[in-house]
Amino acid sequence: MNASPADQRRLLDLAELDARIAQAERLRRNPPQAARVKELLAQRQAHSQELSRLLGARDDARTELARIESDVAVVQARSDRDAGRLASSANAKEAQGLESEIASLARRKIALEDAELEVMERLEQCEAAVAQQEALMAEINAEGGRLSDEAKAVVADATARHDQATRDRAAIVAALPADLVALYERTATRSTGAALLRRGTCEGCRMVLSGTDLQTLRETPENAVVTCPECGCILVRTEESGL
């Protein structure tokens, strides 16, 4: 196939635009923040489960404390009632029974108050653990929100660059011969579509061409479309090619 050297050089612009489009597409699909955001989502799920467990333990402690406080109030009320009856009782046997019950209630109250202190300490620990877990989740949410905003900005920028490069590409394609574009498109499916031959090196695969290959290129007309013997991309020859 033959094409003017100018049209062949335009293929380098086309290849550069294709590289920009591919890079922008990668950023749109997978911005650099995506991996960390994924990690944070997994961490948040795990910490959320732990927070649920801690909240359950805190609520259980609160329920137990409320029950003990209610029992203490009941014991105290019974003790006060018995004390009042004892003060007004003239029956020795009844008084003895009341004194025994008051003593029993006092022991029961001491046991309940001891249990109350233990539960209060446990509740304090639970509340501290909940607060710590909530603070940790707040940090994760803050970082996740910041990274999500950054990722959206990256995607928006990549989309704009993708669209601009796509428009520029369409303009170049429209100005080039259809058969040359078709060859470029076929070549681009398996390698870089086109690359500059600079000082005897293909910039598509970075391979230095052999002396024999370079001699063949020297003998090939400049309007002939040639390909790299190593990677198969269209080789664009210029004054920099070292031929």
In tens digits, the chain (243 residues) has pLDDT values of 999 999 999 999 999 999 999 999 999 999 999 999 999 999 999 999 999 999 999 999 999 999 999 999 999 999 999 888 888 877 878 878 888 999 999 999 999 999 999 999 999 999 999 999 999 999 999 999 999 999 999 999 999 999 999 999 999 999 999 999 999 999 999 889 999 999 999 999 999 999 999 999 999 999 999 999 999 999 999 999 887
Identity of residue 85: R
* CA pair distance 149, 68, nearest whole angstrom: 49
Cβ proximity of 75 and 108 under 8 Å: yes
DSSP state of 208: B
Nearest to 172 by CA among 63, 18, 57, 67: 18
CATH 1.10.287.1700, applies to 26-175:
yes
- Listed by start position, the domains of the chain span 5-22+176-237, 26-175
Identify the burial level of 62 via C-beta atoms within 10 angstroms of its C-beta, where 0-12 means exposed, 13-18 middle and 19 or more buried: middle
Alpha helices in the chain (DSSP H): 5-29, 34-88, 92-175, 178-188, 211-218
Nearest to 11 by CA among 243, 181, 207: 181
Q: How many residues does the chain have?
A: 243
* CA pair distance 213, 215, nearest whole angstrom: 5
* CA pair distance 151, 137, nearest whole angstrom: 20
pTM exceeds cut of 0.75: no
- What is the pairing mode between strands 194-198 and 234-237? parallel
What is residue 116's three-state secondary structure? helix
Cβ proximity of 40 and 138 under 8 Å: no
